[in-house]
Amino acid sequence: MVYLLIIFLIIALDQYTKKIVCDNLELEEKREIKNTNIMFWHKKNTGISYSSFSAYPKQITIITGVIATISFFIFMFLLPIKGIKIIKTGFAFMIGGSIGNLIDRFRNNCVTDFIYIKCKHTPIFNLADVFVVLGGTIMFISSICKKN
């Protein structure tokens, strides 16, 4: 199944990049990519986007775990259905990213974030976050562009 491979690859890539960051940057250390507005900034986030609800890391782990589990079961139900490749791809991206962050939450009670784009009110994020947003965007665009 290509979609299960996509999930596995996203998880592996996410965990690998987080390991590189943890091995090469001290916590709170920043490294700017020259001539860009992009920076690697090693942060730990016990909350969700913009560190929201950071006082409740265990509850966030439980809630995100339940959501990821439900999403995975819906995804498994969709796998045998033909003709919805884009939906399955979006789901695979979202699930891979969700599991990548969930691994961090179970292992460290927080998520390693490290990508920062210097722009007003921009959160620090990681590759798992990129895939969750990309998967959701794919599914949203697919749903509004669907021919009836």
Radius of gyration of the chain from Cα atoms?
16
CB 114 within 8 A of CB 40: yes
CB 65 within 8 A of CB 137: no
Q: What is the pLDDT of residues 54-96, one digit of tens each?
A: 888 888 899 999 999 999 999 999 999 998 899 999 999 999 9
Q: What pLDDT, on the 0 to 100 scale, is given for residue 148?
A: 47
* Residue 106 token pair: 């179970």
Residue 15 makes CB contacts below 8 A (sequence gap 6+) with 100, 103
CB 92 within 8 A of CB 135: yes
* Residue 50 token pair: 């913009």
Q: How many domains does the chain have?
A: 1
Q: What is the pLDDT of residues 9-40, one digit of tens each?
A: 999 999 999 999 999 999 999 999 998 999 99
Active site residues per annotation = 113, 129
Residue 25 belongs to domain spanning: 2-145
